[in-house]
């Protein structure tokens, strides 16, 4: 019997060892194949005779890629991301590249993008146009964000069966108080800031009047900017634009229910075209008289690979550190900002002799107050070490995102950036009622009044609640002091524009919370100027990834390339939004349970 078991275990081990050897050999073969392919085919090149640069963002527009393609095996839905800095770099280079004659923009695969990100990309395309090079844009259909981007083009095409949605801006949070009441769960909210509304969905059934007033003012300002920019780009009077938005049904009836014809009649698009007609039009603008049905072109990713081969390497560097996602204590993977992991990136950049300045690119609603302060202190140490620090705000740099920005020498934001939200809150759930309904009870002893006071199985002790509120107010005063010192203001003056209120980047400049308008290029130029650099290389440090994991990521990314982004159904969108609300709560791990987070992401 024992001999049989021993032989069985030996065979199992041989099988496992053999599988490991096969897997190792397969990975080695892939590495060799990649090396040989790189030698035989050095990479993409720009077609001769003048070519079109194809800009076709797919999935979510992000500051730094976070999704690992290897994980797609465990997901039913394809996830795609397009780093905004890559697109900006490609368009900036193509502007002065004589081999590129025009830019082709196709927006159908954009699923998520912040308004400020679209604005920054739009500005880069406008600079491309200013160099005398045409821009052509097309959509099978246009969502509001997609059209906002496409409207900067010289020619805007829409599919003959397409539609164009311009609906305005809205903010409708989901409120969970009714569901929590049915479950018997009490959510205790502690906050400092009249407009700090993050906890309200868990403690109210509707929007507070303070949140309603602030949201209306913010949305009206952002919408005014969108309608003005689109109207100027399309050479429309504002009343023409407003008619399409406010009286769309009447216009649709006049076009006999044809949404594409309605958009053209309103002057929002230039041509209704099929895909073949679109290709023919690009070929015509390129003056491409070849017999090929296709036209001379290169996509943005291939173009970047091509131009980066020839870029000179400068010993002086500016490190761009991306703070993207919620701010969480400790070590965190890409997609969230870990207090310890991000602080380590700052420290490594500070100690690197080649790095002469830092740009902190922020796209974050905030999170842990503790982690935010850990990061800000590292930025302060970097400035004290003589290395300039510039904060570059993307679509969202609020609450903890602004706390981080306060550690910079200078803050630069886009006009549509959402920022501010200087306020603090804490939440504590109580499950004593649902446990009691199940027949469960909690009893015991403690050596001090607050021992076990924050046990969610028991009713919250009033003394513990008062202690929590005092801690929240203390952290709020700390936040005010940090901002006051950084912005050279009095704490009382900061308090008047704080209170958890969200501001646009344009408004924040007037309030003294932001220094000036600009994008990532402006931040890099400012950092170079402060560091006295004429020539430099921009580097993008990221958390270290084990070599095998990195290799597998590249393999799966290669296999995944070229696949279309999966459209999301309305039901799926609702489910994802609800799941995101609760998933974000699971990440909260501030050691003091004090948070500075902004419930201000735009849908």
Considering only CA atoms, which of 406, 403, 402 is closest in space to residue 419? 402
Q: Which residues are known to be catalytic?
A: 196, 399
Is the pLDDT assigned to residue 188 strictly greater than 80?
yes
What does the pLDDT read at residue 290?
79
3-class DSSP state for residue 437?
helix
* Closest by Cα among 34, 254, 270, 63 to 150: 270
Residues forming a β-bridge with 393:
362
Output the pTM of the full model.
0.85
pLDDT at 580 exceeding the cut of 90: no
CA distance 160 to 141: 9
Partnered with residue 273 across adjacent β-strands are: 159
Backbone CA torsion sign across 371, 377, 380, 381: negative
Confidence of residue 559 (pLDDT cuts 50, 70, 90): very low
79-83, 115-119, 403-407: the lowest-pLDDT one: 79-83
* Burial environment of residue 363 by CB neighbours within 10 A (0 to 12, 13 to 18, 19 or more): buried
Angle at 487 between CA 482 and CA 491, to 5 degrees: 55
Decide: 366 and 327 in contact? Cβ < 8 Å.
Answer: yes
Q: Specify burial of residue 386 (Cβ count, 10 A radius: 0-12, 13-18, 19+).
A: exposed
Write the pLDDT tens digit of every residue in 151-179: 999 999 999 999 999 999 999 999 999 99
Q: Which residues have C-beta within 8 Å of that of residue 141, sequence separation ≥ 6?
A: 108, 158, 159, 162, 163, 164, 165
Tell me the angle at which helices 369-384 and 339-351 cross, rounded to the nearest 10 degrees: 10
- Give the C-alpha separation, 48 to 51, whole Å: 7
Q: Is the pLDDT of residue 464 over 60?
A: yes
Whether the pLDDT of residue 266 is over 50: the answer is yes
Q: Specify whether the backbone of 256 is left (phi greater than 0), alpha (psi in -120 to 50) or beta.
A: left
Tell whether the model's pLDDT for residue 262 goes beyond 50.
yes
The pLDDT assigned to 223 comes to: 97
Strands 186-192 and 424-430: antiparallel
* Terminal CA-CA length for the chain: 66
Write a three-state SS string for 316-385.
Answer: CEEEEEEEECCEECCCCCCCCEEHHHHHHHHHHHHHCCCEEEEEEEEEECEEEHHHHHHHHHHHHHHHHC
pLDDT at 376 over 70: yes
* Backbone region of residue 114 per phi and psi (left: phi > 0; alpha: psi in -120 to 50; beta: other values): beta
Which residues lie below 8 Å from residue 508, measured CB to CB, with a gap of 6+?
413, 417, 419, 420, 514
Higher pLDDT, 146 or 334: 146
And the tokens for 479? 């936040």
Two tokens, residue 294 = 């296709």
* Residue 600 or 102, more confident: 102
Name the nearest CA neighbour of 336 among 411, 401, 422.
Answer: 401
The more confident residue out of 572 and 281 is 281
Considering the chain, what percentage of its residues have pLDDT values greater than 70?
81
Fold of 317-436+455-597: 2-enoyl-CoA Hydratase; Chain A, domain 1 (3.90.226)
pLDDT over 60 at 420, yes or no: yes
Asked whether the beta carbons of 58 and 109 are under 8 A apart, the reply is: yes
- Arithmetic mean of pLDDT over the chain: 86
Name the band, by pLDDT with cuts 50, 70 and 90, for residue 581.
Answer: low
Q: Model confidence over 41-99: pLDDT tens digits?
A: 556 888 888 899 999 999 999 999 875 544 444 444 445 899 999 999 999 999 999 99
Q: 190 forms bridges with which residues in the sheet?
A: 426
Q: Is the pLDDT of residue 571 over 70?
A: no
Express each pLDDT in 473-526 by its tens digit.
999 999 999 999 999 999 999 999 999 999 999 999 999 999 999 999 999 999
- Cβ 469 vs Cβ 380: under 8 Å: no
Which residues share a beta bridge with 338? 328
Helix (H) or strand (E) holding 473: helix 462-487
What strand order describes the sheet that includes 424-430?
186-192, 424-430, 595-597, 366-368, 327-328, 337-338
Grade residue 38 by pLDDT with cuts at 50, 70 and 90: very low
What pLDDT is recorded for position 589? 65
Structure tokens at 598: 């902004």
Backbone torsion region of residue 300, taken as left when φ is above 0, otherwise alpha when ψ lies between -120 and 50, otherwise beta: alpha
Q: In the chain, what percentage of residues exceed pLDDT 90?
A: 68
512: how many CB neighbours lie within 10 A of its CB?
Answer: 14
pLDDT at 536 over 50: yes
Three-state DSSP class for residue 419? strand
Q: Which of 399, 335, 344, 450 is nearest to 594 (CA)?
A: 399
pLDDT at 289: 79
Contact of 529 with 443, CB cutoff 8 Å: no
pLDDT tens, position by position, 218-254:
999 999 999 999 999 999 999 999 999 999 999 999 9
What average pLDDT score do residues 455-461 get?
91
| pLDDT band of 452, cuts 50, 70, 90 | confident
Contact 306, 47 (CB under 8 A): no
Partner residues linked to 425 by β-bridges: 191, 595
The 3-state DSSP class for residue 561 equals coil
């Amino acid at each position: 019997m024992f001999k049989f078991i021993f032989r069985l275990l030996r065979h199992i081990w041989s099988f496992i060892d053999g599988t490991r050897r096969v897997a190792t050999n397969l990975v080695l073969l892939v590495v060799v194949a990649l090396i040989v392919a790189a030698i035989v085919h050095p990479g993409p090149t720009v077609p001769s005779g003048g070519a079109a640069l194809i800009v076709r963002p797919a999935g979510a527009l992000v500051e730094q890629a976070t999704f690992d393609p290897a994980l797609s095996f465990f997901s039913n839905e394809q996830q795609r991301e397009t780093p905004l800095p890559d697109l900006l770099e490609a368009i900036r280079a193509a502007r002065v590249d004589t081999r590129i004659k025009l830019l082709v923009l196709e927006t159908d695969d954009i699923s998520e993008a912040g308004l400020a990100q679209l604005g920054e990309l739009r500005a880069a395309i406008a600079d491309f146009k200013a160099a005398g090079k045409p821009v052509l844009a097309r959509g099978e259909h246009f969502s509001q964000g997609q059209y906002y981007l496409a409207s900067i083009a010289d020619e805007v095409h829409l599919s003959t069966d397409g539609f164009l949605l311009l609906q305005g801006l809205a903010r409708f949070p989901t409120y969970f108080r009714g569901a929590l009441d049915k479950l018997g769960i009490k959510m205790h909210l502690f906050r400092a800031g009249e407009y700090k509304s993050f906890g309200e969905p868990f403690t109210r059934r509707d929007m507070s009047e303070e949140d309603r007033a602030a949201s209306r003012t913010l949305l009206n300002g952002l919408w005014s900017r969108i309608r003005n920019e689109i109207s100027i780009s399309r050479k429309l009077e504002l009343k023409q634009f407003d008619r399409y938005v406010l009286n769309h049904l009447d216009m649709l009836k006049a076009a006999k229910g044809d949404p594409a014809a309605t958009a053209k009649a309103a002057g929002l698009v230039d041509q209704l075209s099929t895909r073949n007609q679109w290709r023919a039009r690009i070929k015509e603008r390129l003056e491409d008289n070849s017999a090929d049905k296709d036209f001379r072109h290169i996509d943005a990713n291939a173009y970047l690979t091509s131009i980066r081969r020839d870029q000179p390497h400068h010993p002086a560097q500016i490190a761009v550190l991306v703070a993207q996602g919620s701010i969480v204590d400790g070590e965190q993977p890409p997609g969230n900002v870990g207090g310890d992991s991000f602080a380590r990136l700052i420290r490594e950049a500070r100690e690197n002799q080649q790095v002469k300045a830092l740009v902190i690119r922020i796209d974050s609603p905030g999170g842990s107050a503790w982690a935010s302060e850990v990061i800000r202190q590292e930025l302060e140490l970097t400035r004290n070490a003589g290395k300039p620090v510039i904060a570059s705000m993307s679509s969202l740099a609020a609450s903890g995102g602004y706390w981080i920005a306060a550690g910079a020498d200078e803050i630069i934001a886009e006009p549509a950036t959402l920022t501010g939200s200087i306020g603090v809150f804490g939440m504590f759930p109580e499950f004593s009622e649902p446990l009691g309904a199940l027949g469960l009870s909690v009893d015991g002893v403690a050596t001090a009044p607050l021992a076990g006071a924050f046990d969610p199985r028991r009713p919250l002790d009033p003394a513990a609640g008062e202690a929590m509120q005092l801690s929240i107010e203390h952290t709020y005063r700390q936040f005010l002091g940090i901002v006051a010192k950084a912005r050279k203001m009095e704490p009382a003056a900061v308090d008047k524009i704080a209170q958890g209120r969200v501001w646009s980047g344009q408004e924040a400049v007037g309030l003294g919370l932001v220094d000036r308008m600009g994008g990532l290029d402006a931040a890099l130029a400012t950092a170079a100027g402060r560091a006295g650099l004429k020539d430099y290389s921009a580097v993008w440090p990221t958390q270290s990834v084990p070599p095998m994991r990195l290799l597998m990521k590249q393999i799966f990314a290669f296999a995944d390339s070229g696949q279309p982004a999966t459209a999301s159904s309305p039901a799926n969108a609702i489910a994802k939004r609800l799941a995101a609300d609760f998933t974000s709560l699971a990440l909260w791990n501030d050691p003091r349970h004090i948070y500075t987070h902004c419930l201000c992401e735009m849908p």
